[in-house]
Amino acid sequence: MFSQASHNSRLTPVEPAAGSTELLARISELIEDLSPDRVDLLKAFHRIQHEFGYVPREAVPLLAGKFRTTPAIIFGTIDFYSELRMAPAAETTVDWCSGPACLLKGSLNIRRALEATFECEMNRTSADGRFGLRLVQCDGTCHLAPLVRHHGRYIGPLTVSESIEWARRLTGDDRRAPPEDGARPAADEASPELAEPVEAE
């Protein structure tokens, strides 16, 4: 289906689809110096996503023309890679690390808590479009496990309570934070220490 032959066959470039002229012009400008068979398609995606925050639908026919292939193959390629998206991300997107180190330290609990607090499922956007949760792969910052990322900031190691409080601050939920230690009965000494999470800009 995706054989070398069909990929390399020199097809007539497809007519660009409708879209604002500026958008199309900007995309053409971005991919101007790229050419087929020089490992440039990924570069094209990255440039476009860097510029717009996602790969607009209008880019697909333009890329197909540039790389001498069909829009279906371009679309399939975008669809294949998890870091490429075809719709803008929510205003506030929280990246939840799915890696094993985070998992072993209880990241699934954090996932459930975040999904409930943002009222939003993983890889979806909340009903009001303000919040998004995105599942990301491990990038080896496991000394912070379990962690979430928010606008390039890594937050961890998190307890479930900390993640809920943090998410509530983002949503503007002014519910009182749990009472401070003072009145804790002696029987509760076994409670885990609430370590301060490391927050890096």
Partner 1 sequence: MTLPRYEEMWHRADDAWARAARPARTLIKVGVATCSRVVGAEETLSALRREVEARGLDADFMVTGCLGLCYAEPLVEVVRPNAPGVLYQSVTADKVASLLEAVAAGGIAREYALAVIGDRESGGLPALNSLEFVLGQVRRLMANCGVTDPENIDHYVARGGYEGLVRALQMKPVNVIDEVKKSGLWGRGGAAFSTGLKWEFLYNAKRQPKYLICNADEGDPGSFVNRNLMESDPQLLVEGMVIAGYATDAQQGYIYIRDEYPLPVERMELAVQQARERGLVGENILGSNFSFELEVVRGAGSYVCGDETGLLSSLEDRRGMPKIKPPFPAQAGVFAMPSNINNVESYTNVPLIMRHGADWWAEMGSEKHKGTKMFSLSGQVQRVGIVEVPLGTSTSDVVMRMGGGPPEGRKLKAVQPGGPLSGVVPASDVDIPLEPDPYRERGVLMGSGGLVILDDTNCIVDLCIYFEWFAEDESCGRCTTCFAGTRRMLEILRRISSGRGRLADLELIKLLGSIAQNANCFHGQGAPTAVMSMFRFFEDELLEHVERKRCPAKVCRGLVRYEVVHYSDRLPAAEAICPTNAVVRDNGTYRIDQLKCIKCDACREQAPYAIAVVDEFQPAATTLTR
Q: How far is the CB of 154 from partner 1 (least distance, A)?
A: 4
Q: CB-wise, 10 or 176, nearer to partner 1?
A: 176
Residue 113: CB minimum distance to partner 1, A:
4
3-class secondary structure, 30: helix
Q: Which is nearer to partner 1, 125 or 163 (CB)?
A: 163
Nearer Cβ to partner 1, position 22 or 152? Answer: 152
Q: Residue 166: CA atoms inside 13 Å, Cβ hemisphere, count?
A: 22
Identify which of residues 22 and 201 has a Cβ nearer to partner 1 in the complex.
Answer: 201
- d(Cα 9, Cα 166) in Å, to the nearest integer? 53
How crowded is residue 200: how many other Cβ atoms within 10 Å of its Cβ?
Answer: 9
74 closest CA partner among 158, 148, 125, 2: 2
Distances (CA, A) of 189 to 92, 192, 193, 195: 37, 8, 10, 15
Q: Give the nearest distance from C-beta 82 to partner 1 in angstroms.
A: 4
CA-based diameter of the chain, in Å? 78
Of 89 and 194, the one with the shorter C-beta distance to partner 1 is 194
Q: Report in angstroms how near the CB of residue 135 gets to partner 1 at its nearest.
A: 9
Q: Least distance in Å: CB of 120 to partner 1? A: 12
